[in-house]
Amino acid sequence: MQNGEHRGVKEALDRAGAYGPDVDLSQFNVGESDLEQIEDLQKVDADTKDLMVNVGVVSDENGRDGSIVFINNSMSHCSNKTEDGVELLSTRDAVAKYDWLKDYFWKAVDPEKDKFTAKTYIEESDGYFIRVKKGYHAKNPVQTCMLIKNKNTMQNLHNIIIIEEGASLEIITGCTTDRHANNALHIGVSEIYVKEGGSLAFSMIHNWGEDTTVRPRTGCILEKDAKYVNNYVILNPVGTLQSNPVTYLNGEGASCTYNTICLAPKGSNIDSGGVVFLNAPNTNAEIMSRSITNGGNMIARGKLSGNAEKVKAHLECRSIVLEDGGLTLAIPELESTVADVEMTHEAAVGKIDQDQIEYLMSRGLTEDEAVSMIVRGFLVGGIKGLPPHLMKEIDEAVEKANLGN
């Protein structure tokens, strides 16, 4: 690659993100890319194991078809139980192996978008490459774990996911920082391609440090009849997170769903959005956002852009504010360039209904238990098809958050 030669990208190194507070990249050291390999995930130290479990990554790899672990910028582990159908590589290895990959490389995300994409481009950052071969249906999810181990560290990854024609896969990604990794920065550029009739469910659980800066950049291109489900879950305090994945429904009949579930306690700054371009006829999109703020700042964005006939899309941002202070902001946007579209949105910000709390309390539940139950119901109630492991994480986080009083 001749990455360094692009002048436009170099200029983009100074370009702040469209949303979220600006970040001075020079504060961070680029994470090492030559850390020791972990052959057996069961043999990692107890601390790391805990960190992984907390974001849904299981070290015994039971019920997982493959695992990839990135520590800082090193692909520290890669195992694969279904090599006949799924290919797992580092992005660098994949680029070296497949000439055709250039058709996918920086095609769903523009490297000049902002300093985060530019940095990743210029560093020629590694990342993971996941390919599911034509017609193959993976039985179990592939898990990936993004762990930042050291303080002042920048993790910048470039991931590529390709679901070939008629294939399907579920990916569980856990993002987390080590207890001592203060003031870390995560940049994850992900380019996702779902080919005709393919299907991808991508669940991300985040458990960052209270001062971590998180800037994912995701672009996703769907062909005819392709399906994409994006579950994005942030339940623990995070310094500042700004994410706004973009999906292009370019093939007729393609559909995508974003489910975003956030808790924003004091100290958290979350700016979480989603954009879907419905560029082909009969495409469908749904953006569902549920958030609870108790003292933190929570911005929920969503944008649907209808550019073809007979598209149908719905956007829903709902927030419960548990206490004064902090900020809750819902910004739903609909835009259309053709007449025959059906796009709707709904936004609601409010408190929990006291009558509901007391009703549950009249059954003997404490106020904490009642609030937790209502909050859990609010977060997951209207959302279809959340995988069971996510429900478990959500339950535990809601319980831990002590939302009553």
Partner 1 sequence: MTHIGAIMLEIIDLHVEAGGREILKGVSLKINEGETCVLFGPNGSGKSTLLAAIMGYRHCKVTSGKIMFKGQDITEMGVDERARLGIGMMMQRPPNVSGVKLGDLVKATAKGDASVLDKAESFKMDNFLGRDVNVGFSGGEIKRSELLQLTAQKPDFVLLDEPESGVDLESIDLIGRKVHDLLYTKDGNKACDGSRCARHVSALVITHTGQILDYIGADKAYILQNGVIRCSGRPTDLLKDIRERGYKECISCRMVNIEE
- Identify whether the C-beta of residue 282 lies closer than 8 Å to the C-beta of residue 252: yes
- Closest distance of CB 372 from partner 1, Å: 10
Question: Strands (DSSP E) along 61-122, which ranges?
Answer: 66-71, 74-80, 86-90
Distance from C-alpha of 389 to C-alpha of 55, rounded to nearest angstrom: 10
- Helix/strand/coil for 402: coil
Query: Are 308 and 279 spatial neighbours (Cβ–Cβ below 8 Å)?
Result: yes
Q: 354-393: which residues touch partner 1 (CB under 8 A)?
A: 354-356, 358-367, 369-370, 373-374, 376-382
Q: Which is nearer to partner 1, 43 or 363 (CB)?
A: 363
Give the phi and the psi of residue 137 in degrees, each rounded to 5.
Answer: -110, 110
Min separation Cβ 385 and partner 1, Å? 15
| Best CA proximity match to 257, nearest among 201, 191, 309 | 201
Q: How far apart are CA 15 and CA 256, in angstroms?
A: 30
How many angstroms separate the first and last alpha carbons of the chain? 57
**Nearer of residues 8 and 382 to partner 1, judged by Cβ:** 382
- Within residues 167-206, the interface with partner 1 by CB under 8 A covers none
Nearer to partner 1, 347 or 361 (CB): 361
- As given in the structure block, the two tokens for residue 398 are 């809601």
Nearer to partner 1 by Cβ, of 206 and 318: the residue is 318
Tell me the C-alpha distance between 304 and 312, whole Å: 10
Considering only residues 7-66, where is the footprint of partner 1 by CB under 8 A?
none
Cβ 382 to partner 1, closest distance in Å? 7
Q: Which C-beta is closer to partner 1: that of 63 or that of 377?
A: 377
* Residue with Cβ nearer partner 1 (8 or 377): 377
Of 165, 235, 240, 195, whose CA–CA distance to 393 is shortest? 235
Count of residues that interact with partner 1, criterion CB under 8 A:
25
How far, CA to CA in Å, does 214 sit from each of 90, 154, 195?
A: 21, 10, 29
In the complex, least distance from residue 132 CB atom to partner 1, rounded to whole angstroms: 33
Helix/strand/coil for 119: helix
CB of 170 to partner 1, least distance (A): 24
The 3-state DSSP class for residue 326 equals: coil
Nearer to partner 1, 226 or 375 (CB): 375
Binding mask 300-339 for partner 1 (x = CB under 8 A): ----------------------------------------
**Does 261 sit near partner 1 (CB under 8 A)?**
no
8 Å CB contact between 144 and 128: yes
Q: How far is the CB of 355 from partner 1 (least distance, A)?
A: 4
User: Smaller CB distance to partner 1: residue 110 or 395?
Assistant: 395
Q: Could you say which residues in the range 334-353 bind partner 1, by CB under 8 A?
A: 353
Q: C-beta of 398: minimal distance to partner 1 in Å?
A: 12
Q: One-letter amino acid identity for 311?
A: V
Query: Which spans of this chain sit near partner 1 (rule: CB under 8 A)?
Result: 353-356, 358-367, 369-370, 373-374, 376-382
